[in-house]
Amino acid sequence: MSRILTPLPQHRSLVDWLRTRESEVWKWHSDAERLTQDAEEVRLSLLRDTYRMDAEGHPELFAEITAAQQALGLSHVTVYAYQAQGQSTPNAAICYLPGEAHLIFSGPILTLLSPAELRAVIGHELAHHLLWQMEDGTFYLADRILHQSAAHPHAEPSHGQSARLWALATELFADRGAYLVTGCLETAVASLVKICTGLAQVSGKSYLTQAEEIFSKSKPKTEQLTHPETFMRARALHLWVEESEDLEGAIARMLVEDEGLEEMDLIQQAQLAALTQRFLKQHLRPTWFRSEAVLAHARLYFPDFTPADTNDRELADELEALSKPRREFLCHVMLDFCAVDPDLDELPVAAAIERARDLECLSHFEKLAAKELKLKAKDLKRLKEKSSELLAAARP
């Protein structure tokens, strides 16, 4: 196979964020002694809760394991296989230890899959191992940090969303491993559908057609916490195999749960903060707006804030593409500057009205102004009619 597995952009972005914004957390999780202790706990748990299989007793299974290892360049890794106890749902999982891959099968999965489909499932799980060993375990550390942060009692919604985004990207990466070890898109998809449905007979080709039909009629969103919807995974793998020019954009659109504020992950928060700063630099650009009180308030948002002296020509296009909830968030930001300096009189409200028009959320700003600034309807109406005139008469 000429295709190679590389981390998704979502992996890279989150790793970069953790390393730069949470360097102490990153260092703590990198501790070698702690990793060794965790490894011993994993081995004991597997021995206690599963039946361990070996090559002598299960030659067909280990033949597929060996083939998958060779296809992914993991022949140097020692692979163990286990059957989970007391679980009826077909599934497969992997426990990662440096130099060791522990495959865990659940329910009737070993009898449900054909040999090629079993190889695809093994390839999927071993692709997790491949990702986690890349760059000296960088992606494994990120995986641990994100999921443990999301599970913390005081976690913010952004922690949960970041862990979710990471998990979804990882599943898409692993699905590519399923394809690489079989060389057959339909087999990789069939193995996925069998596990999700429990059916003994499925058609990967038919399901790819079904996934294409879903995407042609709607803009689906992910709903499951750790796995994207099955049709999304099938579609994402199809695009990767075809080397689609819009691969990264299409996957990004699949993985975005929502475009509101509560659903933002850590990367989206950082992006919105940067955009908000650029927006404020433009909003407070007029000389009349640069009073001491206004600039002091702006530095509560951004300590190094200074208004822009030139026009940000790209900002308008970025604001136009922004979701409605995030454009309405900027209305709240503008509202903060409408009453911070009474000496500016009605000019800040007039400026906000003009910006809100550009953002196509004037009605939202009107409601905010009426409620928070106690502006009467007749005053708002007058300001809407005279806003451009008031601003033109003000100092530049």
| DSSP conformational letter for 118 | H
Q: Is residue 1 part of a domain?
A: no
Q: Let me know if 72 is exposed, middle or buried by CB neighbors in 10 A (0-12, 13-18, 19+).
A: buried
Please tell me which residue, 358 or 216, carries the higher pLDDT value: 358
pLDDT tens digits for range 207-265: 999 988 888 876 655 544 344 578 889 999 999 999 989 999 889 888 875 567 777 88
pLDDT tens digits for range 165-192: 999 999 999 999 999 999 999 999 999 9
The CB-side HSE value for 390 (13 A sphere, CA atoms) comes to: 18
**Do 182 and 246 have their domain in common?**
yes
pLDDT at res. 220: 58
Q: What distance in Å separates the CA atoms of residue 352 and residue 298, rounded to the nearest whole number?
A: 15
Q: Over 60: is that where the pLDDT of 383 sits?
A: yes
For the chain, the first-to-last Cα distance in angstroms comes to: 63
| Mean per-residue pLDDT over the chain, rounded | 90
- H or E element that contains 139: helix 115-151
- Domain end: 255, 287, 313, which one? 255
Please tell me which residue, 158 or 395, carries the higher pLDDT value: 158
**Do 176 and 310 have their domain in common?**
no
Q: What distance in Å separates the CA atoms of residue 10 and residue 165, rounded to the nearest whole number?
A: 7
Q: Over 70: is that where the pLDDT of 312 sits?
A: yes
- Domain end: 255, 286, 313, which one? 255
Phi-psi region of 220 (alpha: psi -120 to 50; beta: other; left: phi over 0): beta
pLDDT at res. 224: 41
Q: What distance in Å separates the CA atoms of residue 392 and residue 180, rounded to the nearest whole number?
A: 63
Q: Which residue, 101, 4, 112, is CA-closest to 62?
A: 101
Q: Global pTM? A: 0.84
Q: Is residue 2 part of a domain?
A: no
**Do 248 and 368 have their domain in common?**
no
**Do 144 and 177 have their domain in common?**
yes
Q: Over 90: is that where the pLDDT of 295 sits?
A: yes
Domain that holds residue 47: 9-255
The answer to whether 383 and 346 are in contact (CB under 8 A) is yes
> Max alpha carbon distance in the chain (Å)?
88
**Do 166 and 40 have their domain in common?**
yes
**Residue-by-residue DSSP string for 261-321:** STT--HHHHHHHHHHHHHHHHHHT-SGGG--HHHHHHHHHH-TT----SS--TTHHHHHHT
**Do 325 and 183 have their domain in common?**
no
Exposure class string for 136-146: b at 16+ Cβ within 10 A, else e: ebbbbbbbbbb
pLDDT tens digits for range 142-160: 999 999 999 999 998 899 9
**Do 230 and 286 have their domain in common?**
no
**Do 39 and 172 have their domain in common?**
yes
**Do 191 and 308 have their domain in common?**
no
pLDDT at res. 44: 86
Q: What distance in Å separates the CA atoms of residue 75 and residue 130, rounded to the nearest whole number?
A: 11
**Do 117 and 215 have their domain in common?**
yes
CA torsion, ordered 272, 278, 280, 285, to nearest 10 deg: -170
Q: Is residue 308 part of a domain?
A: yes
| DSSP conformational letter for 340 | S
Q: Is residue 126 part of a domain?
A: yes
What residue type is assigned to position 297 of the chain? H
- How many domains does the chain fold into? 2
**Do 214 and 288 have their domain in common?**
no
Q: Is residue 87 part of a domain?
A: yes
Please tell me which residue, 19 or 87, carries the higher pLDDT value: 19
Q: Is residue 44 part of a domain?
A: yes
Q: Is residue 261 part of a domain?
A: no
**Residue-by-residue DSSP string for 324-338:** HHHHHHHHHHHHHTS
pLDDT tens digits for range 91-143: 999 999 888 999 999 999 999 999 999 999 999 999 999 999 999 999 999 99
> Distance of alpha carbon 108 from its chain centroid, rounded?
32
**Do 202 and 287 have their domain in common?**
no
Q: Is residue 302 part of a domain?
A: yes
Q: Over 90: is that where the pLDDT of 27 sits?
A: no
Q: Please give the structure tokens belonging to residue 24.
A: 């102490």
- Domain end: 232, 255, 278, which one? 255
